[in-house]
Structure 1
Amino acid sequence: MKRNTWIPLVAGAVAFLITLGIGGAVGTDWLTRNIEMDRLVTAIVESEASMGVVQERTAAVFDQLEAEGLEGTLADAQSEAATAELARIAVDGADSIGAAGREIAAINILPWHTKIKAAQEAYLLHNYAWQAYMQAAAEDPVAFTVDQPLVNRTFQDAQEPLEDAISIVGLFDVEARVANIFIDGAPQSSGEII
């Protein structure tokens, strides 16, 4: 009776190749998730930086107005110049924040990476709220003096989806970078994000 001694060898080789293929697919998916999160967090940091520039420039204008007002030297021309500068800041902010939002929206995320997609969409809502804020301020710079509850709420609402999207075994220090976004960008009671 002839035995087919090759069958166990072929079965073992097939099992090995299947295991190798599954392991490779899982590893590739893990790496892809980490790359997507790295790109998303990098774009979010750039968006937050654009928002920070707006806040710094706006604060400088208000500080100057306050100093001139305290000295009693604030004239109508200075007030008009400050209003024009605030409108320029809003236009510049709308441009830079809008560009950052487009970068975030352009990040390709695989369809089954639902947590990363949810994080992207949640942060985009915050970016869009800032764009609306900048458009309102460009039309009427008084918007800089009004609380912005939508900006603050969308910022807070983006935190949980971003934290949920972090891989358990992550690369690129994403967890610390996400934490820094929400430490550095804590909403203030005045409606501003710092």
Structure 2
Amino acid sequence: MDNTTRFILDIMNAEEEEHQTRMRMSATYLHNQRERVNSISYHGGSTMNHRVIDRNREEGHARLYRDYFSNTPSYRDTEFRRKFRMRESFFMRIEKAVTAHDNYFTQPTDAMEIRGMSSLQKVTAAFRMLAYGTTADAVDDYVRIGESTTIEILRRFFKSIVEVFGSEYLRCPNTEDVSRLLAENGQ
């Protein structure tokens, strides 16, 4: 193996190790946030004289899909990884797991046959807040979701992540895990 190939493999291994570390840190953060969120009381229901904003959610989904998830996306893999802080395949694994775990993340259709927010919009909103540390109302411009809905999405996302991935990522590594990680990183 020449030096260039070895150098590229070393970079790829370092990125994967960094990714695994971030996942463990994120899982711990999500667990702590879940504990905090569960202790907060939320008001639910309609508010009198509340102005309803037509956010054109279907166009928001279409734009998101076209930009990142179509067969010919506007943004390539490198941009996806930079903006979401993970690979698309990993994002889709989490999106599928969360959607399968909690029906809240499936796209509803109302009595007028108007579709609600897609699972991609909901999971993207949660990840944007986590990746950039933004406020709930900051994701409205692109993802087309209001502040209170984004907070509910994030709360349910935390809960689902802990319930689905908690046993895998929120535990201390055992001897087998340490051996596997050392072998994967060539140590």
**If the length of structure 1 is used for normalisation, what is the TM-score?**
0.31
**If the length of structure 2 is used for normalisation, what is the TM-score?**
0.32
